[in-house]
Amino acid sequence: MTEFFQSLGLNYEFAWFTATIAGVLLIALPLMLAVAMVIYVDRKVWAAINLRRGPNVVGPFGLLQSFADGLKVFLQETIIPSAANKGIFILAPIVTFTVALAAWAVIPFDAGVVLANINVGLLYILAISSLSVYGVVMSGWASNSKYPFFSAMRAAAQMISYEVSIGFILVCIVLFAGTFNLTGIVLGQEAFGLGLINAYVVHPLIFPIWVMFFISCLAETQRVPFDLTEAESELVAGYQTEYSSMSFALFWLGEYANILLMCSLNTLLFFGGWLPPLNIDLIPWFDIPGIIWFLLKTFFFFFMFSWVMATVPRYRYDQLMRLGWKVFLPLSLFFIVVISGYLMATGHFGGAA
């Protein structure tokens, strides 16, 4: 895109600057639209599994429900509790929202369609997702109210615990791909399974770590069954209890942007990203643009997130910690050893490095 702006007569630096800003907007605005629609999908799937109708009043099939909610939230009054720590109270939702958007900078939507194709893309994702805990912790502390505070402490412990196992799982994938670059990881999956299937997940050593990754993603984004930070039967609404109006909406948007990010990570790391499922040209699916495949797979994972939300009851907090530290951590460490051994034995250091 830089070349396009250079052709308009800008010098290189300003062309690069303009191109980056345009790229940011090109990712962020559709993402916000996607978040609005995904909230609707979430509620519809949940309703369908509960044999309800779900949102069906605003617009055709209730499609505009999220926008109506957004408008309502815009028009509300912003309430700041008098005992709250004002600066941090206002900063917290902004941090959540910004961090949720920042991670999308390195997500490749198609070959070459990525804002920042950096060498350490996967580490960047890990770094940014480890920041998302701050929004929750800051809001919980700044609200100066006991339920948000409990929620903040739970969130801090929970996200640190599951980050450890996510980190180890990502190491396994990096070992297979031989690169931290997300585009490289996707390209490494081309014709990976029997020269036919474009996905890492078909490998018998990777399938179990994908299952662990999916569960850890649920915990990392605080989705059911690990939504203990906003367990309404115990903590009112958790860290969001004291928030209203736009600051509440920012939490909401950030949360769903994070969920979409985790779904896209599932797609990129295990299910071949923008590549079609099979590497044969029987059906003309190489003519379908890669971004369509990417979005289809991502929304499939979002459907799985909703499915889990509608079917599984909430975990107890000590069980959550036990699962993280006593089950996932040893298992993922074990898989690192096994996968390194497998790669050493077979000499397969694959990927398009």
- Is 242 one of the binding residues for other proteins (CB under 8 A)? no
- Is 118 one of the binding residues for other proteins (CB under 8 A)? yes
- Is 120 one of the binding residues for other proteins (CB under 8 A)? yes
Tell which one of 17, 74, 207, 300 touches other proteins (CB under 8 A): 17
In three-state secondary structure terms, 30 is helix
Beta bridge pairs of residue 278: 197
- Is 301 one of the binding residues for other proteins (CB under 8 A)? no
User: 55: cis peptide before it, omega within 30°?
Assistant: no
At closest approach, how far in Å is the CB of 158 from other proteins?
11
Region binding other proteins by CB under 8 A among candidate stretches 32-40, 152-160, 260-268, 272-280: 152-160
In three-state secondary structure terms, 277 is coil
In the region spanning residues 308 to 347, those forming contacts with other proteins, defined by CB under 8 A, are 318-319, 322
Region binding other proteins by CB under 8 A among candidate stretches 123-131, 234-242, 257-265, 283-291: 123-131
CA distances from 107 to 11, 14, 135, 266, 287 (A): 28, 24, 22, 12, 22
- Is 123 one of the binding residues for other proteins (CB under 8 A)? yes
Nearer Cβ to other proteins, position 56 or 85? 85
Q: Alpha-carbon distance 122 to 244, whole Å?
A: 34
In three-state secondary structure terms, 322 is helix
- Is 150 one of the binding residues for other proteins (CB under 8 A)? no
Angle (CA) 169-101-225 rounded to 5° is 50
- 349 Cβ contact partners less than 8 Å away, ≥ 6 residues apart: 178, 343
Q: How many CA atoms lie within 13 A of 49 on its CB side?
A: 15
At closest approach, how far in Å is the CB of 282 from other proteins?
39
Tell which one of 41, 47, 90, 126 touches other proteins (CB under 8 A): 126
Residues that bind other proteins (CB under 8 A): 13, 16-17, 85, 88, 118-120, 123-124, 126-128, 130-131, 133-134, 137-138, 141, 149, 152-153, 156-157, 159-160, 163, 167, 180, 318-319, 322
